[in-house]
Amino acid sequence: MAKVTPAERAEAAPAEAAPSLLRRALALSTLGPLIALLIAVAFFTARSDRFLTGGNLSLVVQQVMVVGTLAIGQTLVILTAGIDLSNGAVMALGNVVIAKLAVDSGMNPLLAIAVGLLVCAAFGAFNGSLVTGLRLPPFIVTLGTLNIAFALTHIYSNDQTISNLPSALTFFGNTFTVGGTDITYGTVLMLVLYVVAWYVLRQTAAGRHVYAVGNNPEAARLTGIQTRRLLLGVYTTAGLIYGIAALLLIARTSVGDPQAGATDNLDSITAVVLGGTSLFGGRGSVIGTLLGALIVGIVRNGLQLLGVRSIYQVLITGILVILAVAVDQLARRRQAK
């Protein structure tokens, strides 16, 4: 060892770097979802002329916009080894609150949006305080708040769909044109949220703490991380993101709909799981979730173009989820050996 000269060491370094770069790429949790996405794109491109067009792809992104946004919050919660069953219902509540305040109460649309976001964030904080304060399992807490939010939505809206919304509420449904393709502001907002979430998780201390708390809460606590405060922050942030999803839902449907979001909780979990994030917490990435949401969107859209009945899209989504988790587990077991 002592005889290695600096020059020799410099020579050895690049040779070492190449395989480690490859190994790092292979270890990347987003690699699997990315390959799956590319296979799906290649398959549908070969089978349908209408698939790989700007208009169609823009449509796919619009279709995944709401669930994709919910899935950002879901990813944060799942990374802490939690789960959030309430997100669709919380979004529906936010959706109805915004619409009803703006239409029935004649509130300034921007103020109505602010109140809606606040209601959703408060619901997230409620989830978080039950999880950290009473130390209840997140599954049970959010199963409870799912029903509470669902009931509140129907009580508040009187089961009525709210229409004739002011145009300010549907701003994110407006489009701009790039190279002949119409793109909604909502999809841009969703992508911006993904970038922000990626940045916070990868590049800030708070993000590293989210992973640590999900991976080994006791170790995180012993290193001085305020685990309860962090969890409360994660659930509250997730709630705020559900509020933004509510706004995007309004933009997409142009109504306040108390029936909305009924299966969106499971769809958001599907996106997270397809994206390679572990349900046991501490592993995964929000970029994977975006890929997961796009996989679902592309498979549904592609099958539609091929004229496959919609129920088969659900069937295939189910198979994909099991396949994704199975591949992930096998890869992990091999890595552990």
Partner 1 sequence: MTQAAATATPATRERPTPILEARGLVKRYGQVTALDGCDFELLPNEIHAVIGDNGAGKSTLIKALSGALIPDEGQILLDGQPVRFHGPLDARRHGIETVYQDLAVAPALNIADNLFLGREVRRRGPLGSLLRMLDHGRMVAESRRHMQDLKIGIRSMNQAVETLSGGQRQGVAVARSAAFARHVVIMDEPTAALGVKETHMVLDLIRKVRDRGLPVILISHNMPNVFEVADRVHIQRLGRRVAVISPHDFSMSDAVAIMTGAMAGEEVASD
Site residues (CB under 8 A) for partner 1, limited to 128-187: none
Strand partners, 178: 181
* Interaction residues for partner 1, span 75-114 (CB under 8 A): none
CA–CA distance, 177 with 43 (Å, rounded to integer):
27
Exactly one of 7, 15, 18, 205 binds partner 1 (CB under 8 A); which one?
A: 205
Nearer to partner 1, 121 or 220 (CB): 220
Q: What are phi and psi of 177, to 5 degrees?
A: -110, 130
Whole-angstrom distance, CA of residue 250 vs CA of residue 308: 29
223 binds partner 1 (CB under 8 A): yes
The answer to the question of residue 18 lying near partner 1 (CB under 8 A) is no
Q: Is 212 in the site for partner 1 (CB under 8 A)?
A: yes
For partner 1, the binding residues in 224-243 under the rule CB under 8 A are 224-225
Residue 201 CA, distance from chain mean position: 13
Q: Judged by CB under 8 A, does residue 331 bind partner 1? A: no
Q: Cβ of 246: how many Cβ atoms within 10 Å?
A: 31
Among 51, 211, 235, 242, binds partner 1 (CB under 8 A): 211
Least distance between partner 1 and beta carbon 39 (Å): 27
Residue 215 Cβ vs partner 1, minimum distance, rounded to whole Å: 4
Closest by Cα among 166, 171, 167, 165 to 185:
171
Give the interface segment with partner 1, choosing from 147-155, 158-166, 204-212, 319-327 (CB under 8 A). 204-212
Stretch binding partner 1 (CB under 8 A), from 154-162, 178-186, 216-224, 320-328: 216-224
Q: In terms of CB distance, is 20 or 177 closer to partner 1?
A: 20
Q: How far apart are the first and last CA of the chain?
A: 29
CB of 93 to partner 1, least distance (A): 32
If binding is defined by CB under 8 A, does position 220 make contact with partner 1?
Answer: yes
Q: Of 47-55, 166-174, 220-228, 232-240, which segment contacts partner 1 by CB under 8 A?
A: 220-228
DSSP 192-212: HHHHHHHHHHHHSHHHHHHHH
d(CA 132, CA 126): 10
Task: Give all strands (DSSP E) within the chain, no chain letters.
Answer: 175-178, 181-184
* Position among 28, 59, 206, 325 found at the interface with partner 1 (CB under 8 A): 206
20-28, 36-44, 46-54, 298-306 -> range binding partner 1 (CB under 8 A): 20-28
The least distance separating partner 1 from the CB of residue 83, rounded to whole angstroms, comes to 18
Q: CA–CA separation, 296 vs 299, rounded Å?
A: 5
Task: Name which of 116 and 282 has its Cβ closer to partner 1.
Answer: 282
Nearest to 86 by CA among 333, 226, 269, 286: 269
Phi, psi of 184 (to 5 degrees): -85, 150
195 near partner 1 (CB under 8 A): no
Q: Is 36 exposed, middle or buried (0-12, 13-18, 19+ CB in 10 A)?
A: buried
Q: Any contact of residue 194 with partner 1 (CB under 8 A)?
A: no
Q: Residue 185 in contact with residue 256, Cβ under 8 Å?
A: no
204 near partner 1 (CB under 8 A): yes
Q: Which residues bind partner 1 (CB under 8 A)?
A: 16, 20, 24, 27, 199, 203-206, 208-209, 211-212, 215-216, 218-220, 222-225, 282-283, 335-336
